[in-house]
Structure formats: structure tokens, C-alpha cells
Structure 1
Amino acid sequence: MQTYCVTINEELAGERLDKAIAGLDPGWSRVRVQEWISANRVFVNGKVRKESYRVKVGENIEIDVPELEELDVLAEDIPLEICYEDSDVLVLNKPRGMVVHPAPGHASGTLVNALLFHCKEDLSGIGGVARPGIVHRIDKDTSGLLMIAKNDLAHHSLVEQLKEHSITREYLAIVHGTIHHEHGLIDAPIGRDPKERKRMAVEHKRGKQAITHFTVIERFTKATYIKCKLETGRTHQIRVHMKSIGHPLIGDPLYGPAKNNYGFEGQALHATVLGFTHPRTQKRIELKVEPPDAFLDLMKKLRDE
């Protein structure tokens, strides 16, 4: 068992206890945190509180994280495009359509199934039984660079870098409509959409700070090719932010138009650059991958319009 301690800051103040803790690490799901609270593994200033308790600035939270359970997910020999690997970190180019971790309806064929085969025992256990080694994630239909922690030292370091916004993350996207200015910055908080729980939305009252920078690369007749750089990493951040300014991603089933005129299934989004400080050597590593053929084919189709 490992014990984690955190002091509640202004950003977390007012959140439910389970939501505040789940937001501390991408590998901690809210359901898993609720199990810890029910098992009296979470203490607020030394006291057990309910999952609905609203945390306050300055309160000290202690979390006793149990040892990793035996993983009930099968290792599968699924090819991986590895961009970087050593004894601490693995970075790969995730294909469009691959789910990151097992869930109802996706028990096999996921990235985790592939990682269990490729890495064997060399994965951080902090993410839990369904998310071994997972430090961050990208959506099923988003392609591109994803980093994996092969031990707990690497996991802690990479998560801290995410919190400090010191990890470089650049994405390529194709959006509906013509963006006339060359650069833009979207600073709008993101939270759960109160009308549709599967979606996120710009939420000024309950959302968390989210900042996206974008630059126009190429304009088409009815679309724009852009590069986005994230300062924060909220769920669906680019998809929500671009929709909020009237330029949803082409193919986006959640945030785009109901009618898909381009035959591109899933959002046109690719994680092209990933930069981080190596957890052990402290050297800066920066990787870049080009978008997949389907993305390039879409651009060709738009140029020909």
C-alpha cells in the first residue's frame, strides 16, 4: 500500500471529495476513488468523510492506495508503433479507432491488452487494474503520441509534469468553416455538460481552467487545417474549445454537425508532438509523428473541392 498526501488549493476547493481526488491522477477513476472512500482509505484532516463532502482550501487529504490487484485483462499480441522506449517510459503512435483501456463493450483489442503483451510485468501499477502504465489518454478516434509509464517512479514524474503544464502537447486538427485570423487563444473553463453527461462543455461556474492555443496552417473552401497547443489537458479540450468558437472538428460525433458530409468517421484530430523531461535522466525528449493516411486523404479531398 502507498499513501499519497495533498493539500487542497483554490482550484480544487468546493469540489466533491471523490471528484477532487480522481482529478489528481489520470489513472484514478472516480468509481475507484469512491471504493477507497467506502473502505476508509481516504482521510480529510485525519477524519473519514463521505464521497459527497465538499473539500476546502488548506485541508490535508491522505489517500491509502491499495496494492495493484491481479489484472483480469488478457494480454494480446497487437502490433504497436513504438516511437521511444527505455526501462522507464514507452511512447507510441496510437492508431485511430483503438480504445485506450478496457471498458464495457471493449474488453479486448485495447491499448492496455497490447501493452500487457509487449511490456509483460514492466508497467506502473498506479493506474489500477484496467489502466496499468496509463499516465494520460487520447480518445478512441484521435491518433498520435501517447506516453506510458513502465514503473511508479516514471508515473509520478510524468503526472507531476502534466500538473505543472511542462509537457509539450501539440495536435493537428481539421475544423469546419474558415478561420480568418492566423492565431488564437481560447481560455474557457471546461466541465461536464449538465444536459448531456457523455459530453463536456464550456462551464464558467463549475468548469476547470482550460487553455488552448491554435495556429492556422492551411485554409480550404469550407474548412481550416490548424495546429493546437495545450496548456491544460481537460477531457475533450480541443473538441470542446473549437466547437465553442463555431469551428467544430470535422467528423466529430459528439460536438460536430449531425450530418457528416466528408465521410470521415471520428474527429479529425492527431497528437503530433509530445515533449517531456525524462523521469530518471532529466533530459528533455521531444517526439513528432505525422498524421495517418485517413487524415491526409481528408486534406486532399478538401483541397480538391
Structure 2
Amino acid sequence: MTTHSNSRPIAIIGAGAIGLSLASAFARTGHPITVCGGRNSFGRIEITENGISETWPVRHVTDPAEIVEPVTAIVAVKAHHTDAVADWLRAVDHSESTVLVAQNGVELSDRIAPYIAAAQIVPSVVYLNVERTAPGRAVLRRVGDVDLALPDDEVGAALAADLRAGLMRTSTEADLKTVAWSKLLTNITANPLTALTGRRADVMRDPEIGNIARQIMAEAVVVGRADGAALTDQHAERAMRWLQSVPEGSTTSMRQDRLAGRPLEFDALTGAVVRTAERHGIDVPVNRFVLALVAAIQAEDIA
């Protein structure tokens, strides 16, 4: 059985905004932090919240062979970069290790499973709004009452308690599938709509954009129900209220990626809705339209 003592190393696979924020909660309770690979080397992480910055030292390793003991790994690379970190995933695949998957979408365990044979995979649903400002640095904005949802089992509860001690607001959920689909409703609207318009998350308060978002969500609710999630129209309305209440200046990862000319994470979001709809024979014209638009942006940025 995996353990989560304060001396257990934390390995960050994907030291972007989410990875840094989760690592900071573990660091706050005394866990040593190791950053795995990446283009930039840094010796500390810095998280700024409400204008106040805190820093913690980190160890940076560049060779997967340097991971030699059981760890709690945070997998926070974008979904479409999962294959690129396969060597790091295999390096943390130890029978006493835990792999916390902090990615977007509803296919988390399936996405990681090809690389993990022995470690415990723990999917999660992340609600943090974080903006990476420099290597090792991020600005954290909290939205709603929960920062991270985890499965309601022994390992999930242990991780939730550990993170909570580090001031991360966690919950454990018996029906994480419904929670994940509910969160997907926000991701398939805010991410592509901010990327397409170039505006920050306050664009969701625009009435016409709000109408488009509701159409996107309505289709996804039908698809999610067909996939076994207990979604209702109220989930969509709650998602809209949440999106329209995010702090001023909040952004999305897809908007940031478009501005930086990086690949966009649309396949794990809108692509997942369209794939699931196809499996169940459901027509989702608005989601297909959004997927085509975002894919066209991607093709233009790569050209």
C-alpha cells in the first residue's frame, strides 16, 4: 500500500502552472520537490496569490534514471504532451508510487495507463485558475470552494488530506466521472472561446458568447449522460455561473497557448465530446463546429 509521509518525494512531470501550484501545497508540508525534465532549469518555485509570494527549493533532474525511489508523481503536462513524457512516466512506475493525474478531460486514466503498470493511478479534477509567468513561477487564483477533486478511496483520501494540510482545498468524490464531465463543461466553453476571441475569461459574461457556451454545454450534457455521468441541465447552469464569476484578469490555458504559438489542447476537451458522441450515435453539431474552428487555428499556427 502506498504511503504519503511528509518525507515522500514529489516528482513534477510538467512544471507548468498547475504542476507548480500542486507542488507548492506539498512543499508547504515538508515534501521534497523534484522537477522532471523540461526546457528550463530552476532551483525554486514561486507561487503568488493575492499579491503575496512564497518560494520553495526544488531539485531539477534531466535523466529519468535519476528517479530511483517511490514518489508521488504529479502529471500536469497538457494531454497532447503525454506521449512526450513517456520515459518519465515509466521512471515513476513503482509499486509503492502514486501517480496523480492533473490533466484536463475525461479520459485521464486511459491516457496514462499505457505507461503505468505498477503504480497507483489517481485521476483528479482541477479547478485552479493559474497563470505561469516565468519558469518556476505562477500566479494562483482560486475559484469556487474546491481546488482539486479526488476519488473517494483510500489513496485519494490520503492525497486529499496531504494537499489540504498544504492549504489546497480538496474534496473526495464517490462519482468522479460526473464531477469530471461537469468540469469538462467549463473547459469545452471557456478554453476554445477565449482562444478564438483572444479575450480573457471575462468574455464569458458577454450575452452572445454566453448563448454559444450554453449550446455547447447542452450537447455535452446529453453525451455525458450517455457515457454514464449523472449530468443534468443544472450542471450546465452551475458551470455558466462559475465561469461568469471567475476573478477579473483570469485567463485560460488554451488562450495562453495560442498567444505563445504553442499546440492547443482541444483534442482532450472538445475532441473527447465528439469522440464519445460518435460512440453513442449522438449528433453534436455545435461542438463539431467549435472543434473545426480550433483545429483550423492550430493548423494556421503550425504552418
The TM-score bracket by the shorter chain reads under 0.3
CA radius of gyration, larger in: 1
Considering fraction of residues, name the structure with more strand.
1
Considering fraction of residues, name the structure with more helix.
2
TM-score w.r.t. length of structure 2: 0.28
